[in-house]
Amino acid sequence: MSAGDPAVPPSSLIVCSRNRPRFLLETIHSVLQGGEVPAEIVVVDQSDAPQSGLAALATARACEVRHLPLRSVGLARARNAGIAAARHDLLAFIDDDMWVDAGWYGALLRALLAAGPRGVVTGQVRAAEMEVPGGVAPSLMVGDAPAVYEGRVGRDVLAAGNMAIHRCAFGAVGLFDERLGAGARFPASEDNDFAVRLLDAGYRILYEPAAVLYHRSWRTKGDYARLHWSYGRGQGAFYTKHRLAGDGSMSGRMRWDLLRHLRRLPERLRGRELRLLWSDAAYVVGLFSGAAEWWLTQRRREGAG
């Protein structure tokens, strides 16, 4: 924080975690070592075993770490529980396998304050150095140019693992859809769904490149295809949810997404990039799987029976 920057007002940072105790503690320590910190960190913990390290966590910073065990699973469900438990109206989110840049929190919150109650801020998510041979970090968002998104933008622009928002936005557009997201039946795209609902309601999504997080590269090459299968299932469900709600543009988005992955397959095969070949193929199959299953099981709930 530079001398001329105003301090951010009290806010809550929500961290959702499941069965990654070491990563979680290192994420929290990273936040506490930043230039500015939230008034509280709400840890929504869906782990199978208690996170004993949290009870002994002490900090000299003006930040309370609150532990909220949750017996259910699902990232969207955990985020919603964190929203309900948070004590402040300025809310920020981070995943449990991130490291933060020292200026991350101040940049994120000041951008939110400048945007006002009708703005939502997301930031950069860069890959950290590999922690295992061939380690990968998915779900990145990089770029040094600020951006403002309004209306339908035709692509996914919100990284909910690096997000700040006013609580009142959830009252206006609803919480995260608990059918979507890691740990749910359709294990991805809860943030894409939330972003579309925000934009449809007239909110602006602002990309603040100074709010930098580093996604740890702990996943192996063997995780890649399984991860893309999950992304495909969630994305297919997301497209179908909004198509059933009357959004015809989602058919075009799904078709473009499908063709983009299919066109890469011959090139992957010629280059013997087998890991990427199987990942793209897994995404395509997952996309069809998620779309078909949402259509068969959720359409009555969407009012399109």
3-class secondary structure per residue, the chain: CCCCCCCCCCCEEEEEECCCHHHHHHHHHHHHCCCCCCCEEEEEECCCCCCHHHHCCCCCCCCEEEEEECCCCCHHHHHHHHHHHCCCCEEEEEECCEEECCCHHHHHHHHHHHHCCCEEEEEEEEEEEECCCCCECCCCECCCCCEEECCCCCCCCCCCCEEEEEHHHHHHHCCCCCCECCCCCECCCHHHHHHHHHHHCCCEEEEEEEEEEEEEECECHHHHHHHHHHHHHHHHHHHHHHHHCCCCHHHHHHHHHHHHHHHHHHHHHHCCCHHHHHHHHHHHHHHHHHHHHHHHHHCCCCCCC
| pTM across the whole model | 0.93
Taking 60 as the threshold, does the pLDDT of residue 304 lie above it? no
More confident residue, 220 or 164: 164
Q: What is the mean pLDDT of residues 146-150?
A: 98
- Core vs surface per residue 115-136: b (16+ CB within 10 A) or e: beeebbbbbbbebbeeeeeebb
**Mean predicted lDDT score pLDDT of the chain:** 92
Tokens of 225: 């295809």
What is the model's pLDDT at position 218? 83
Taking 70 as the threshold, does the pLDDT of residue 128 lie above it? yes
pLDDT in tens, 290-299: 999 999 999 8
Q: How confident is the model at residue 2 (pLDDT cuts 50, 70, 90)?
A: very low
Instruction: State the first-to-last Cα distance of the chain, in angstroms, to the nearest integer.
Output: 53
Distances (CA, A) of 293 to 64, 75, 242, 244: 42, 20, 14, 13
Torsion sign across C-alpha atoms 62, 64, 65, 70:
negative
Closest CA to 127 of 212, 208, 211, 217: 217
What is the model's pLDDT at position 6? 62
Taking 90 as the threshold, does the pLDDT of residue 257 lie above it? yes
| Side chain identity, residue 187 | P
> In whole angstroms, what is the distance from residue 183 CA to residue 42 CA?
20
pLDDT in tens, 212-251: 999 998 888 778 889 999 999 999 999 999 999 999 999 9
pLDDT in tens, 9-40: 999 999 999 999 999 999 999 999 999 999 99
Taking 60 as the threshold, does the pLDDT of residue 3 lie above it? no
What is the model's pLDDT at position 305? 44
Asked if 32 and 60 touch (Cβ cutoff 8 Å), the reply is no
> In whole angstroms, what is the distance from residue 106 CA to residue 36 CA?
6
pLDDT in tens, 269-285: 887 777 788 889 999 99
What is the model's pLDDT at position 56? 63
Q: How confident is the model at residue 301 (pLDDT cuts 50, 70, 90)?
A: confident
Strand partners, 16: 44, 95
pLDDT in tens, 47-57: 998 777 776 67
Asked if 28 and 43 touch (Cβ cutoff 8 Å), the reply is yes
Torsion sign across C-alpha atoms 294, 15, 86, 66:
positive
Taking 60 as the threshold, does the pLDDT of residue 303 lie above it? no
Of 94-98, 167-171, 268-272, the least confident: 268-272
